[in-house]
Chains A and B, each alone.
Chain A
Amino acid sequence: MAELETREMLLNVGPAHPAMHGIIRIVATLDGERITSAEVEIGYLHRGFEKMSETVDYNGVIPYTDRLNYVSPLINNMGYCMAVEKLLGISVPERCDYIRVIVSEISRITDHLTCVGASAMELGAFTVFLYMIKAREFLWELVEMVTGARLTVSYGRVGGVKGDLPEGFDEQCRKAIQETRKVLDESNTLLTRNRIFVDRMSGTGKISSDAAVSYGITGPFLRATGVAYDVRKDCPYSVYDRLQFDVPVGTRGDNFDRYLVRMEEMEQSMRIIEQALRDIPPGPIQANPETGRPIPAAEMVDQAKVGNIAAIIDRRAVTDPTLDGSAKPLHHQIAADEKRVFLPAKEDTYGNIEGLMHHFKLVMYGHGVRPPKGEVYFPVEGANGELGFYIVSDGANSPYRVRVRPPCFAIMSALPRLVIGDMMADLTPTFGSVNMIGGELDR
């Protein structure tokens, strides 16, 4: 019988492919069904974040940071703002810190929901995807209540946040958390002991903890291999050192462990949010409904012009619905007390000349937030791992160099290592659990 000649097949899992995770190209060489080598090509979504941030001022970089890891935009915002604040050497009020923690954790939950939902969908569990997106909608409604937008929020500012939490946030947040817990319970019963899911996810995409550390992998991916590194615990920032939460750590480093780590992390994030809601310093004291009433801004300006300052102190002027949450009584809670960095409350801008000058000095071209010359690196715990911002300033009003250390870049560089030896069909769950976000990978 003649010997059959076998050759390896080249399969191009091209940039446009059904996994809704983004655009990436994997050129795999197959021997039958086994992958013998894989070459990963990225850069299809390179949008020049670092170059664009050199053309705008410090607060203007914030919309660009939203679009980095676009499923958890608030973590990027807060990370960048905290890096610039480190460069400036200023600190924010405590309530602002708690607000940042709450919205960051909400963002982390939405990221994990999207990741687990999408990767479950690719394995055929379409129901779980729909349930998780339903939970994500509740959280996005919550984010919209606070920031005004669902996805690209631009909520952080250098020196604070855009506005305080609205009234009724507490209750809405607890309801959203309750709904998310229900969804997670349902998804758990559908997936965790599902024979097909477990068989497809266990044992595939394994990586050892030494290899993971060498590749610079951090976040849930690293924790699933057994190394307990979480930036919130090991290099705490903001108010994380006062909050109690656990860091789930896996053992085997395969896809199933990563799934379990992410599910547990969502629960821990909800725990953090509940503690933060309990511990947050209180908001403004409610004004007496008889004597304290919101007045139109024009009336306030007129009163100020004739000198009735005493009559309008502690009054809230209704300026614009979009300025909700940043009114004068709330301003000191959400903004660092630094005139060179944060805009004044609108009542001051329109009410007195000092406020107007303050506003002018921060908004006009050439003026604005101008940190001292220097360089800083500030890491935060992104949903995929350590998200670091390295900022170099030369004293001008726009950054000299902004570098994002993307967590999923390291994971993607390890992808060939993860898939070689597995079958072609294991590429899908492995790639799904990598949680590659194109905006962050290619920037």
Chain B
Amino acid sequence: MTAAGLIQALEDRFPQAVRAAHAYRGDATVIVSRESLLHVARTLKEDPAFQMNFLMDVTAVDFSSFGKKPSPAFFASSGVAVRPSPEIPDQEPWPGPPGPGRFAVVYHLFSLPLKHRLRVEVLVEEADAEVDSLTPLWASADWLEREVWDMFGIRFRGHPNLTRILMYEEFVGHPLRKDYAVNKRQPLIGPVN
């Protein structure tokens, strides 16, 4: 199906669950509610109209500083900022971040028989950062969700083994969050290298 067709079929099937949808640059994207994620995912996998047999990627985006980072004119410490020049014109601009809520958990699905791709986004608040795990449906969700937990701190209900995967166990914090500085020192390592 084309991107528009895919979005239409999903909106018809799940009128309450699909909060928003767009096809920016040809990538079909739907934003679904958190409660309906598992049901939508199961339908996407098993329904003959969709047949999404590959869960390609699970990741997250922290929208807390979206559009807020000032572009320094010379060095970041100079304090002089640059007025952004007009953006490259877009026929169909992007609707913007998926909505309120700090994190968006992003799933990329692919169907090999029907050769279409879909991106599913779920908004998550910071205070209640928990989403259903998709491990019962696809085995690839196992490690990918562990990585999202490690990097962002978003929990997955029903995951068999939600532990850190890329960082060591004693690591404090979640590195890919926007409030984690790039070279922040860890307590186990000490202040000076």
Interfacial residues, chain A to chain B (CB-CB below 8 A)? 42-43, 46, 48, 50-52, 54-55, 86-89, 211, 213-216, 218, 227, 229, 234-235, 338, 340, 361, 364-367, 370-377, 379, 386, 388, 390, 392, 394-398, 400-401, 403, 405, 409-410, 412-414, 442-443
In the complex, what residue of chain A is closest to B84 when comparing beta carbons?
A395
Distance in angstroms between the alpha carbons of A62 and B162 in the assembled complex: 32
| CB–CB B88/A89 < 8 A | yes
A394 contact from B66, B73, B85, Cβ within 8 A: B66
A372 neighbours in B (Cβ, 8 Å): 87-88, 90, 93-94
Closest CB in chain B relative to A53 CB, distance in Å: 11
A373 neighbours in B (Cβ, 8 Å): 67, 87, 93-94, 96
Closest CB in chain B relative to A437 CB, distance in Å: 15
| Per-residue contact bits, chain B 116-143, to A (CB 8 Å; 1 contact, 0 not) | 0101000000000000000000111011
Given A55-B182, A338-B88, 16 more pairs with CB closer than 8 A: A43-B168, A211-B139, A216-B144, A235-B117, A367-B82, A370-B84, A370-B87, A373-B67, A376-B24, A376-B27, A395-B84, A396-B67, A396-B71, A398-B69, A405-B108, A410-B143
A397 contact from B71, B164, B175, Cβ within 8 A: B71
| CB–CB A235/B115 < 8 A | yes
Known: A365-B74, A373-B67, A400-B66. A390 touches B94 (CB 8 A): no
Q: Which of B90-108 contact A (CB under 8 A)?
A: 90, 93-94, 96, 106, 108
B43 neighbours in A (Cβ, 8 Å): none
A400 neighbours in B (Cβ, 8 Å): 61, 66
A sample of 26 cross-chain residue pairs with beta-carbon separation below 8 angstroms, ordered by A number, consists of A42-B166, A43-B164, A46-B167, A48-B175, A51-B182, A214-B53, A218-B54, A338-B88, A366-B72, A366-B73, A370-B85, A371-B87, A372-B93, A373-B87, A373-B94, A374-B24, A375-B27, A375-B61, A377-B108, A386-B56, A388-B57, A395-B84, A400-B61, A401-B62, A412-B143, A413-B140
B25 contact from A51, A89, A412, Cβ within 8 A: A89
Distance in angstroms between the alpha carbons of A373 and B69 in the assembled complex: 13
| CB–CB A442/B166 < 8 A | yes
Closest CB in chain A relative to B147 CB, distance in Å: 8
Distance in angstroms between the alpha carbons of A52 and B66 in the assembled complex: 17
Distance in angstroms between the alpha carbons of A229 and B114 in the assembled complex: 12
| CB–CB A43/B166 < 8 A | yes
B56 contact from A52, A211, A214, A216, Cβ within 8 A: A216
Closest CB in chain A relative to B52 CB, distance in Å: 11
In the complex, what residue of chain B is closest to A55 when comparing beta carbons?
B182
Distance in angstroms between the alpha carbons of A88 and B106 in the assembled complex: 21
Distance in angstroms between the alpha carbons of A295 and B72 in the assembled complex: 38
Distance in angstroms between the alpha carbons of A55 and B29 in the assembled complex: 27
Distance in angstroms between the alpha carbons of A443 and B175 in the assembled complex: 13
Closest CB in chain A relative to B123 CB, distance in Å: 14
| CB–CB B54/A213 < 8 A | yes
Chain B residue total in the interface (Cβ 8 A):
52
Return the 9 tightest CB-CB contacts between A and B, nearest first: A216-B140, A366-B82, A366-B71, A43-B166, A374-B94, A413-B143, A405-B57, A214-B139, A46-B166
B55 neighbours in A (Cβ, 8 Å): 216
| CB–CB A377/B182 < 8 A | no
Pick the most buried of B82, B166, B168: most chain A CB atoms within 10 A of its CB: B166
| CB–CB A413/B139 < 8 A | yes
For residue B49, CB closer than 8 A to chain A, the reply is: no
In the complex, what residue of chain A is closest to B62 when comparing beta carbons?
A401
Distance in angstroms between the alpha carbons of A48 and B142 in the assembled complex: 21
B85 contact from A234, A367, A390, A413, Cβ within 8 A: A367
In the complex, what residue of chain A is closest to B54 when comparing beta carbons?
A216
Closest CB in chain A relative to B184 CB, distance in Å: 10
| CB–CB B73/A213 < 8 A | no
Closest CB in chain A relative to B32 CB, distance in Å: 16
Distance in angstroms between the alpha carbons of A386 and B115 in the assembled complex: 14
A364 contact from B73, B87, B144, Cβ within 8 A: B73
A86 neighbours in B (Cβ, 8 Å): 25
A364 neighbours in B (Cβ, 8 Å): 73-74
Known: A89-B90, A216-B138, A373-B96. A396 touches B69 (CB 8 A): yes
In the complex, what residue of chain B is closest to A413 when comparing beta carbons?
B143
For residue B9, CB closer than 8 A to chain A, the reply is: no
Closest CB in chain A relative to B65 CB, distance in Å: 8
| CB–CB A43/B176 < 8 A | no
In the complex, what residue of chain B is closest to A368 when comparing beta carbons?
B71
Distance in angstroms between the alpha carbons of A306 and B29 in the assembled complex: 56
Closest CB in chain B relative to A25 CB, distance in Å: 12
Distance in angstroms between the alpha carbons of A344 and B27 in the assembled complex: 31
A442 neighbours in B (Cβ, 8 Å): 166
For residue B165, CB closer than 8 A to chain A, the reply is: yes
| CB–CB A375/B94 < 8 A | yes
Closest CB in chain A relative to B93 CB, distance in Å: 7
| CB–CB B140/A214 < 8 A | yes
Closest CB in chain A relative to B135 CB, distance in Å: 10
